[in-house]
Chain A
Amino acid sequence: AQSVSQHNHHVILSEAASLELGCNYSYGGTVNLFWYVQYPGQHLQLLLKYFSGDPLVKGIKGFEAEFIKSKFSFNLRKPSVQWSDTAEYFCAVNAKDNYGQNFVFGPGTRLSVLP
């Protein structure tokens, strides 16, 4: 079965700082990778996804993520964060195992951006 780890529980940045949130997964087979964001009081929304092709994927709101297969990583980046990026970020993996089409989520990283 696959698992997902996220490096930081809580990240605090000032506006305009650069962001990188780590995500590592364990699974030897083919994976699809996702980053979801949960703004305070809102439902989870898809930020970006990787299925195949270019390992650098761009998502909404200026976010991007790079899939490094050799490192089993899918880190999320943004060059300059804004106060409105304050949210919880979840990395997720979708791979075929006994659960079929199931997703496995990481524990989440809370991002606080100070104005």
Chain B
Amino acid sequence: DIQMTQSPSSLSASVGDRVSITCRASQGISNYLAWYQQKPGKVPSLLIYAASTLQSGVPSRFSGSGSGTDFTLTISSLQPEDVATYYCQNYNSAPWTFGPGTRVEIK
């Protein structure tokens, strides 16, 4: 099974900061990588699929990059409404595993 790791596990940044989260797969998954946002007490929502394709309705300050084993989610200018936990997911093959999550807070 493919294992997903994320770093950091949590971060605190100021409004307007550029924030990056890294996701690593234990073996190559091409670009079959999705990112989800889960705000406190809410349902997860899809941000990005195919490593870099923004889901409809997602603000353009979010972007994704990477291929193979290393991926990055970037928030170009952190906003208060971006406080959430972010999960990556391998969707290349079953089991479709999630990373452990990265909690993003405002400093």
Whether chain B is bound by chain A comes out as: no
- B-side interface residues toward A, CB under 8 Å? none
